[in-house]
Amino acid sequence: MNKRTQAMTSSFVAAVLVALSCLMLPGSIRAQTFDFDRLEKDARQYTVIIDMKIEFSFGMQSNEHEQRLIGTLVSEDGLVMFDGGFLSESNPLSPMSSFSFRADPTTIEITTLEDEKFDAEYVGVDRQTGLGFIRITDAGDRRFTPVEFVTGRQFKLGEWLAVFMLLPEFVTPPTAADVGMVSTLVTSPEEFALTVGFNSLEMASVLFDEDMRPVGVLGTLTDPSSSDSDPGGLMESMGQFALPLLGVITGERLDKLIADPPQKGKTDRAWLGITLQALTEDIAGFLNMDTPGGIIVNEVVNGSPASASGLQVGDVLYEINNQQIEVNREEELVVFQRRIADMGAGTSVEFSILRPVDETIDTITLLAVLEAAPLAASDAPEYENDHLEFKSRDLVFADYVRFNVEQGGLNGVVVSELKQGGLAYIGGLHLGDIIQRVDGSDITSVDELSASMALLESERPEEIIFFIWRFNKTLFVNVKTDWN
């Protein structure tokens, strides 16, 4: 079943659930009181259509795809928010992976509902919500009317919400109204107003309450235990009826993202550097620990803030800054992870720790200074050589972990993409090779590789000699050139 079929199935089942709910909820008739004419008039000011071309690439495979999306103007200078889950740098692979999957927007055009057209540039995607941001680049002094989200909103079970969804390109008008209902108020793994009646094709659409106020956007509740592999949340949120868990991303959360939108290549999340497990009631009983919850340290990454603080495998964190860590289920780990991520690099954090020693348990306190999360492979600066048909990127933390070397103990740039049948491929370069020298010039960054290759292209030698590091071995690779 493809995603579109899943979405249609989800929409049908959700519609049935909504219909049944209407029979049970006396106040549900209020869904008919939405003034959609007024709602559309308001929404037209900040609703846009995004036409985007994206190049997806991984290793020796690449292809281009066109995407049409609904977007929302969120600032006067032309910042636009949209569903960017498919562009998330951590989508197919964990940020700690040294392999680079790339989804790069190549051209972006924005069309207002008044048929004005603008060019835009990609800004970035928030890893937690999957919301993407682009910015209009050719508006001059034009000031736009942005949406203003209501904050402090307390949602109620059974209340109705409305959205405008994007219709296929062959349909006029381009948008249509849809309604849904708050079906439950989730409290764990996070507070989330879950809805029925909407579908995944409406992701990131603005949600309006019965007073026609924009109260958030449609988003997904993700399973924290598998968020690395699918941060968009659709896979792990599927239930027995293939229903993604859709609901409200609130105005408070959106305002923070809009004020400081995520930027591709920039990491603003804090990092501790551990792999972790919830201290469940059973494990606490087995370890004879009298605490309502905590974080078990399963691994400490070398060179991380956790390592520098003295944290050890087997430690149980039960307080952070003198506040109890009430995590006793795996589903609640996201609460702790987001708290660390949101603290910011340079923040000092005090942990109260239970440390099993022989047959006793010591109680200690450690201070950790958080750092910026390591740059993901897909975020690293990159260089592309069209003549030899390969791409390379700077080394990132995950590379040192992968090759089991100390950070800084390996110099060079990583071969991140190769075109099958290209000169670099035929000459013997492999994905993952670390290029350390090119014709005698030391290479420590893609900037140095770019300069070296530019010089060689002006000289046009018959072959280029790469000195590379490949899984603990060094060797020379002679790549023949063809300057015709």
Segment 309-332, tens digit of pLDDT: 999 999 999 999 999 998 998 878
pTM: 0.66
Report the pLDDT value the prediction gives residue 15, as an integer from 0 to 100. Answer: 44
258/155 Cα distance (integer angstroms) = 22
At 189 the pLDDT is 73
From CA 306, how far away is CA 366, in angstroms rounded?
Answer: 10
Q: In CATH terms, is domain 380-480 a member of 2.30.42.10?
A: yes
For position 206, what pLDDT does the model report? 97
How many angstroms separate the CA atoms of 257 and 267, rounded?
14
Q: Residues 286-309: pLDDT tens digits? A: 988 999 999 999 989 888 899 999
**In this structure, what token pair is assigned to residue 327?**
């995590």
- Domain 270-372 identical in fold to domain 380-480: yes
Amino acid code (one letter) for 274: I
With a cut of 50, which residues of the chain have pLDDT below it? 1-29, 90-98, 226-242
Position 294 scores a pLDDT of: 94
401 CB contacts (<8 Å, ≥6 apart)? 96, 98, 301, 302
Classify burial at 335, counting beta carbons within 10 Å of its beta carbon; exposed 0-12, middle 13-18, buried 19 or more: middle
* Residue showing tokens 């659709």: 234
CATH of 8-264, one of 2.40.10.120, 3.40.50.620, 3.40.50.10090, 1.10.3720.10: 2.40.10.120
Please state the domain extents for the chain: 8-264, 270-372, 380-480
Q: Which fold has domain 270-372?
A: Pdz3 Domain (2.30.42)
